[in-house]
Every structure is written in C-alpha cells, then in structure tokens.
Amino acid sequence: MGFRSPLRGPWFTSVLGAVLLVGLPIVIVTGLLSYIAYGPQFGQAMPGDVGWLRLPQFDWPTDPVWLYRLTQGLHVGLGLVLVPIVLAKLWSVIPKLFTTPPVRSIAQALERLSLLALVGGILFEIVTGVLNIQYDYIFGFSFYTAHYWGAWIFIAGFVSHAILKTPLMIRTLRGRSLMQTLRDGQEHGDSDLIAADPSEPTISRRGALALVGGGAAFVAVLTVGQTTGGFLRNAAILLPRGRSYGDGPNDFQVNRTAAAARIPEDHAGWTLTLTGGTSPVTFTREALLTMPQHTARLPIACVEGWSTVQTWTGVRLRDLAAAAGTPEPGSAQVTSLEKDGPFRQAMLQSNQVLHPDSLLALRVNGVDLSPDHGYPARIIVPAMPGVHNTKWVETIEFRTVS
C-alpha cells in the first residue's frame, strides 16, 4: 500500500505523542477516580465485581466542594479535546499498522498486540464515551461496564507503548528544534514513517499542526460551555443533555425530568420517612420547613461532564440523622419516589451525611424546587457525583455499618 504523504515522519508523530503522553494520563486517572467516587464499597459503582483490577477504595472526600466537578469535567472535557490529536497521531503512523509481513518475531508480535490494545482500546473508549454523553444509555449492555473494561485494555496498551516509545520520542524531539522543522518542512533521517516515494505536499507541516491544534481548540469551544454556562452553553453541542430548562431560579440543567421519571404531580400526601433508629420517623414538607434551614452554594456535577453551581436551602442531613435517633451513621441509603430506573436510590458515606453543607434541599435560589429538580425534596452533597444527588426523596435509612 502506498502511504505517500510527505508530512509523515518521526518528528510529526513525536510532537503529537508528547501531547498525548501528558494529556491521556490525566483522562485515565480522572476516569478511575470517577469509579471510586461512585462508591464501589457499597457495590454501587459499575461494574460491581472487578476481580484483581479492584482499585484502592477510600471514602470520596466532601472537600473541596468542586472536586468531582473538576475531575469529571477534566475527564470528559479533556477527553473530547484530545480526540483530534489521537486521530492525527493514528493517521501519522498508519504505514506502521500495515507493515508486511505482519509478524516477524515474538517480540514484534507482542509489540503488535500492545498496539492492538492501544488503538482498539482508545477508539472503543472514544466511541462509548461520546455516545454516552449524546444519548440516554442506548447500549444493550451497561455503558459503565464496557467503558471500564475498555479502559483497562487501553491502559495496558498505553503503558507498554509509552515504555517502548518514549525514549525514541525524546531523541527525535531533541534532535530537531520546532522552528527548524517548521521552517524546512521536510522530515529527515531513516525511519519507516517517512514515505520512500513522497508525493507533493498539499499542506505545510506548520499548516498540519495548526489544523490539528485548531481541531482541538474547536472541540474545546464546543465543550467548555457545559461547565461555564452562559453564552457558551449554547455551543456545547457535544453535551446536548443537561441543557438548561426550567423557569426563573429553577432554570438550570435537568438530566431526568419528573415526567420521564413518572413522578406523580400531586404531592399533597407526601411525607419523608427516616429509618434506622428505634422506630421510623416521618415528616411532612411543612414540618421540614419548620426545622433549622441551612443554605449552601454547591455544584451538581454529572458523570457526563456538565456541571452547574446553585444555591440550595434545606435541612442538614446530619440534623435528620439526629432526628432519626442515629446521630453518627456509618452510611445512609436514600430512596426516591421514582419506581424504577437505575438512579432511584443511592448510598451515602458517613462523611457525606455529616458534612455541614450536606442537605435535604427543599428550595433552590430562594424558591421551592421545581418538579424537575426534585420537589418535594432532594439530596445535595458537596463534591458528590451528580447521580447520587437523588431527586424526589421518599425515605432515608441511616445505617450503623459503613
């Protein structure tokens, strides 16, 4: 096969490789942190049983309050921004992927296997990740499970590739200055990345780098609005869900609407039930409003990368724990009015119940919660993944075990 672009060469590949060598570990680590933030100790991270790939388990912190907003914003945002660079890097090494004969030695067979994990793994992670933020769980299998196992295959490929190739990358980048290479446009030396019979360039090397960088910048513009909100939110077309809708003070991202969750519209008979003490305790919404109210500015940060900061008012979870007769719970199980759906319940860690800003929110931005944001009451806990901030809460069971 003739791959004749004069742009290909070790220098071009190395520049892209250096960017990915810095960027991809951030995407990997923040992704694994997201798994831990979901609370695998409660069996509520997916996949549940990961055998010897079990990550260190620790209670996800509640401080700083923007922690998950940062880690997951980076995971999704940086992950998207790096897509054009990954594709350019793959393009730059295409001749290598098609060398003949495909296998010459055992060492080379192993190297090619690691390339398969690297290339297959990253393409799989990009496709599953992008589809998950575009559509509502369209997979016949669990997105989380697929994305988790895919990640480990990719990590294995990435680590072996980085060990094998980083020395060559450093040598290549040291050998020629950026300016020098951009100026004369041609790659030199002896490398099977350089076309033996190059065609006429259709674009300069400078232009090629600008194209790739511009692609990444363009994706960045289409992404940052998911976190910044405001004008750029309209440009965040890569995250169509979590767009603002609602009225007045309730006008901020809604993931699942009350209608979609089939929450009844009439809450006249609603009560909150707390269990775990000697006997269950129930509260009407009026009764909750007569308890001490606390206000906190806290983010909701979704696994899909979008986030928003709002001002929530309600009863402290630790006050509710005390009212239930369990002032120092080891954990708490929150259950929603929602009848089914994967997010109808969540387990909270002890630190998430006891944090002074952890609330059963009744109001947001000075008004009652809207039905879509969880009326009559919802959970809001600092630094917790959005998904565990259960809406339309019906019961909380405080437990002694953690």
Can you give the length of the chain in residues?
A: 402
Single residue of 155, 390, 396, 397 touching ligand MTE by CB under 6 A: 390
Contacts of 374 (CB under 8 A, 6+ apart): 361, 390, 391, 392, 393
The string of DSSP letters for 77-138 reads HHHHHTHHHHHHHHHHTHHHHT-SSS--SHHHHHHHHHHHHHHHHHHHHHHHHHHHHHSSS-
Site string for ligand MTE, 246-265 (x = CB under 6 A): -------xxxx----x----
> What whole-number distance in Å separates Cα of residue 47 and Cα of residue 25?
21
Total chain residues near ligand MTE (CB under 6 A): 20
Stretch of 27-35, 44-52, 106-114, 381-389 contacting ligand MTE, by CB under 6 A = 381-389
Nearest to 303 by CA among 80, 133, 102: 133
Contact (CB, 8 A) for 110 and 150: no
The span from the CA of 123 to the CA of 126, in Å, is 5
Q: How far is the CB of 385 from Mo ion (least distance, A)?
A: 7
Of ligand MTE, Mo ion, none, which one sits near residue 357, judging by CB under 5 to 8 A according to partner kind? none
Which partner from the list Mo ion, ligand MTE, none does 189 bind, CB cut-off 5 to 8 Å by kind?
none
What is the secondary structure of 26-64 as a DSSP string? HHHHHHHHHHHHT-GGGT-SSSS--GGGPPP--PPP--S
300 binds ligand MTE (CB under 6 A): yes
As measured in angstroms, the least distance from the Cβ of 258 to ligand MTE is: 9
Q: Which residue minimizes CB distance to Mo ion?
A: 302
By the rule CB under 6 A, 386 interacts with ligand MTE: yes
Q: Does 392 bind ligand MTE (CB under 6 A)?
A: yes
Q: With CB under 6 A as the contact rule, which of the stretches 174-182, 230-238, 353-361, 388-396 interacts with ligand MTE?
A: 388-396
H or E element, residue 331: strand 331-336
> Two tokens at 194?
């350089």
CB of 260 to ligand MTE, least distance (A): 8
Site membership for ligand MTE, residue 343 (CB under 6 A)? yes
Q: Does 302 sit near ligand MTE (CB under 6 A)?
A: yes
- Smallest gap from residue 27 Cβ to ligand MTE (A): 20
DSSP H/E element including 143: helix 143-175
Among 389, 394, 397, 398, binds ligand MTE (CB under 6 A): 389
CB 224 within 8 A of CB 236: yes
Q: Rule CB under 6 A: is residue 391 a binding residue for ligand MTE? A: yes
By beta-carbon proximity to ligand MTE, the closer residue of 169 and 301 is 301
Nearest residue (CB) to ligand MTE, 91 versus 343: 343
Task: State in angstroms the smallest separation of the CB of 36 from ligand MTE.
Answer: 17
Chain contacts with Mo ion (rule: CB under 5 A): 255, 302, 386-387
Report the alpha-carbon angle 123-124-125, nearest 5: 90
What is the b/e burial string over 253-269, where b = at least 16 CB atoms within 10 angstroms of the residue's CB? bbbbebeebebeeeeee
List 64, 189, 341, 366, residue binding ligand MTE (CB under 6 A): 341
Among 72, 227, 326, 336, binds ligand MTE (CB under 6 A): 336
Minimum CB separation from ligand MTE for residue 390, in Å? 5
- C-alpha 241/C-alpha 191 separation (Å) is 46
> Where do contacts with ligand MTE occur on this chain (CB under 6 A)?
253-256, 261, 300, 302, 336, 338, 341, 343-344, 373-374, 386-387, 389-392
